[in-house]
Amino acid sequence: MNIELVKKLSNADAVASHEDEVRSILLEELKNYSDEVDFDRLGSAIFHKKGDAQGPRVMVCAHMDEVGFLVRSISKIGMLYVIPVGSVRTFSKFMQGVRVTTQSGKKIPGILNSVYADGDVKDLVVDIGAVSEEEALALGIRVGDMVTFSSECQEYGVDGTFAGKAFDDRLGCYVMAETLKRLSSTEIPNQLFMAATSSEEVGLRGGKTSAYKIQPDIVIVLDVACWGNELVRDHTNNRQIGRGPMLLHYDKTLVPSSRLVNHILKIADENGIALQQDMFSNGGTDGGQAHLSRDGAVCAVLGIPLRYGHSPWSIGSAADVDNAVLLLTELLKSLDKDAYLRTVDFAHGRQS
């Protein structure tokens, strides 16, 4: 795993519709590996690798945005009142290091705190050390400024484990980028579009707009997931780090194509890649919108297991990330016209 690129992506700040930093990293990283680069009007970046013009149009997507906050108001005593952007964990809203990104790009450190009353979190505030509204304004802080956790990505003592913020979904962005690099000298049997999408955490928005622009036949979504109780390591938890990438069979927004799922299982088996087979009882991914574009697309979701999510820190495994890159690379090399037709041969029900 290229830990330096993981660190760069994790340490970048990008809530929904504020993805400039992550988009810039990916544009620089992939400029020599793409035949064309395009954008939707939300800011999703689409990297096109030309392959067989008669093959299917394959869209791979991973979202750039992370959960975070926006400055809502500035009090007379210099406190920044903020509103969550995305579903931030309840107890990640107390005494956490954060940073404000001003319109000029300046980073202002602070402490996020809130009031817990009647089972709910109220009055989220960021203390930047100011004692007046004027001091906050003098730093360049304005209503609408992005606020993100200030955790810095780091390697842990156990071999291959690492921790940081925004792994949802910077690890998906990483897998997408590294896969495109691996395919740089390979003739692929399809038209490949790698979409780094905007605004997934607030309603799967970039998945919808980029799919409308790409018009894919097949959509492969890259995302992450964690289990609610990290002390549980039995058969109910199929999101355990170090046990391989995840293949989803269901979420609230999508029931994936069983034929495409079976094809992915076959590719994983042929390459000796262990897969955790999972379902989401809550939430969804960009696939929920992307697979509904125009007259529909065959869709499947691959995930990277984490410990903890939507919080200042997540823990991941390099082995899981590397195996996700290998699986996606081999999968994309296999998605030719015949493979696609087998996934949509509803009249005869043939299996891939």
Cβ atoms of residues 343 and 349 within 8 Å = no
Instruction: Indicate the angle between helix axes 258-270 and 318-334, nearest 10 degrees.
Output: 110
Per-residue pLDDT of the chain (352 residues; tens, 9 = 90+): 999 999 999 999 999 999 999 999 999 999 999 999 999 999 999 999 999 999 999 999 999 999 999 999 999 999 999 999 999 999 999 999 999 999 999 999 999 999 988 878 889 999 999 999 999 999 999 999 999 999 999 999 888 999 999 999 999 999 999 999 999 999 999 999 999 999 999 999 999 999 999 999 999 999 999 998 999 999 999 999 999 999 999 998 999 999 999 999 999 999 999 999 999 988 899 999 999 999 999 999 999 999 999 999 999 999 999 999 999 999 999 999 999 999 987 655 554 4
Q: Look at the alpha carbons of 209, 210, 214, 217 in this order and tell me if their dihedral is positive or negative.
A: negative
pLDDT at position 352 is 41
pLDDT at position 225 is 95
The set of residues, in sequence order, having a beta carbon less than 8 Å from that of 53 and lying 6+ positions away, is 191
| Comma-separated ranges of CATH 3.40.630.10 domains in the chain | 3-66+165-343
Q: Look at the alpha carbons of 242, 301, 275, 46 in this order and tell me if their dihedral is positive or negative.
A: negative
Which among 319, 317, 2 is positioned nearest to 161, based on CA atoms?
317
Is residue 330 part of the annotated active site? The answer reads no
pLDDT at position 336 is 95
Which is catalytic among the residues 200, 201, 270, 330? Answer: 200
Query: Which two tokens mark 343?
Result: 């996934």
Question: Which helix (H) or strand (E) covers residue 88, if one does?
Answer: none
Question: Which helix (H) or strand (E) covers residue 70, if one does?
Answer: strand 68-74
| Comma-separated ranges of CATH 2.40.30.40 domains in the chain | 68-149
Which among 225, 226, 224, 298 is positioned nearest to 256, based on CA atoms?
298
pLDDT at position 348 is 55
Residue with tokens 């400029």: 31
Superfamily covering domain 3-66+165-343: Zn peptidases (3.40.630.10)
Query: Which two tokens mark 235?
Result: 């058969």
Question: Which helix (H) or strand (E) covers residue 184, if one does?
Answer: none
Tell me how far apart the alpha carbons of residues 75 and 330 are, in angstroms, rounded to a whole number: 54
pLDDT at position 344 is 85
Instruction: Indicate the angle between helix axes 318-334 and 167-182, nearest 10 degrees.
Output: 50
Q: What does DSSP assign to residue 212?
A: H
Instruction: Indicate the angle between helix axes 20-30 and 3-11, nearest 10 degrees.
Output: 150
The architecture that CATH gives domain 68-149 is: Beta Barrel (2.40)
